[in-house]
């Protein structure tokens, strides 16, 4: 796995949202487009097409750790039915796999508020109650914006069996209910699998039914 590091960015970090080519690190050279519905970035400077880019955005919590690796903070909700099945959707952006509603934490934002906001935005369901279920760093969790480590704040929301999500198509397409035994590294995002392997999370899900 390749970690995005401090040296991939300019010596003086920008004060506004800035995008850099994932390959040559130039800015102002990317054009976003879709291939088979998947979001891609083509660079006019080096000619490469990447699924990822480097983003530096002061409106997003990000920092470099002691090894100079880029870290983002992520917030998400595991939506689950009382039978233990998870409501997941297919991402249209890198890494294009099944995921939970989640997003990046903004400075001074309460992680639980962030998680609830992402759930409303991405699947059209506003959670009534969220319970914190996982907090901590997950290495190897690569996002489209260039980080390979995310510090997570994850919650669980127990949904009514009659609830129907509404996807805007911006973040995700097909959705469905999935059992834990149906998820693996070929179809689900790495941080979700990491969380589902956590003892506390497993116990919580097992005790719903």
Find the part of the chain contacting Zn ion (CB under 5 A) among 110-118, 136-144, 158-166, 195-203: 136-144
Q: How far apart are CA 170 and CA 177, in angstroms?
A: 20
Nearest to 127 by CA among 195, 77, 91: 77
Structure-token pair, residue 92: 């249209």
Q: Is residue 147 a contact residue for Zn ion (CB under 5 A)?
A: yes
**Shortest Å distance, C-beta 34 to Zn ion:** 19
Residue 24 binding Zn ion, by CB under 5 A: yes
Only segment of 18-26, 31-39, 77-85, 169-177 that touches Zn ion (CB under 5 A): 18-26
Nearer to Zn ion, 115 or 143 (CB): 143
Closest to Zn ion by CB, 24 vs 208, is 24
The reply on whether position 13 binds Zn ion by CB under 5 A is no
- Which of 3, 21, 165, 192: binder of Zn ion (CB under 5 A)? 21
Q: Which is nearer to Zn ion, 127 or 145 (CB)?
A: 145
Structure tokens at 176: 């469905």
By CB under 5 A, the residues from 154 to 193 that bind Zn ion are none
User: Tokens representing 194?
Assistant: 């990491």
102 binds Zn ion (CB under 5 A): no
Q: Strand, helix or coil at 15?
A: coil
Per CB under 5 A, 114 contacts Zn ion: no
Among the residue ranges 46-54, 93-101, 152-160, 173-181, the one whose residues contact Zn ion (CB under 5 A): 46-54
E-strand spans in the chain? 18-21, 30-35, 38-43, 49-50, 53-56, 62-64, 70-81, 86-91, 98-99, 102-104, 131-139, 149-159, 172-178
97 binds Zn ion (CB under 5 A): no
Among positions 46, 92, 158, 180, the unique one binding Zn ion when judged by CB under 5 A: 46
User: With contact defined as beta carbons under 8 Å apart, do 181 and 100 qualify?
Assistant: no
Output the CA–CA distances (angstroms, integers) from residue 158 to 135, 154, 167, in the order listed.
Answer: 19, 13, 19
Q: Half-sphere exposure of 183 toward its Cβ, with a 13 Å CA cutoff?
A: 25
> Which residues of this protein are in contact with Zn ion, per CB under 5 A?
21, 23-24, 43, 45-46, 72, 143, 145, 147
């Amino acid at each position: 796995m390749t970690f995005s590091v401090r040296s991939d960015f300019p010596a003086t970090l920008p004060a506004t949202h800035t995008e850099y080519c994932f390959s040559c690190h130039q800015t102002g050279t990317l054009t976003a487009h879709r291939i088979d519905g998947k979001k891609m970035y083509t660079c006019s400077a080096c000619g490469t097409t990447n699924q990822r880019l480097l983003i530096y955005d002061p409106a997003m919590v990000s920092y470099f750790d002691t090894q100079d690796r880029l870290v983002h903070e992520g917030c998400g909700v595991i939506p689950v039915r009382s039978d233990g099945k998870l409501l997941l959707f297919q991402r249209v952006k890198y890494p294009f796999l099944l995921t939970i509603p989640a997003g990046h934490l903004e400075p001074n934002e309460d992680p639980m508020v962030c998680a609830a906001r992402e759930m409303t935005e991405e699947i059209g369901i506003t959670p009534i109650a969220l319970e914190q279920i996982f907090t901590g760093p997950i290495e190897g969790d690569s996002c489209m914006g260039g980080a390979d480590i995310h510090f997570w704040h994850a919650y669980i929301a127990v949904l009514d069996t009659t609830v129907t999500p509404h996807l805007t198509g911006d973040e995700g397409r097909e959705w469905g209910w999935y059992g834990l035994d149906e998820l693996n590294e070929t179809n689900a995002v790495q941080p979700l699998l990491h969380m589902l392997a956590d003892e506390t999370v497993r116990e919580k899900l097992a005790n719903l039914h």
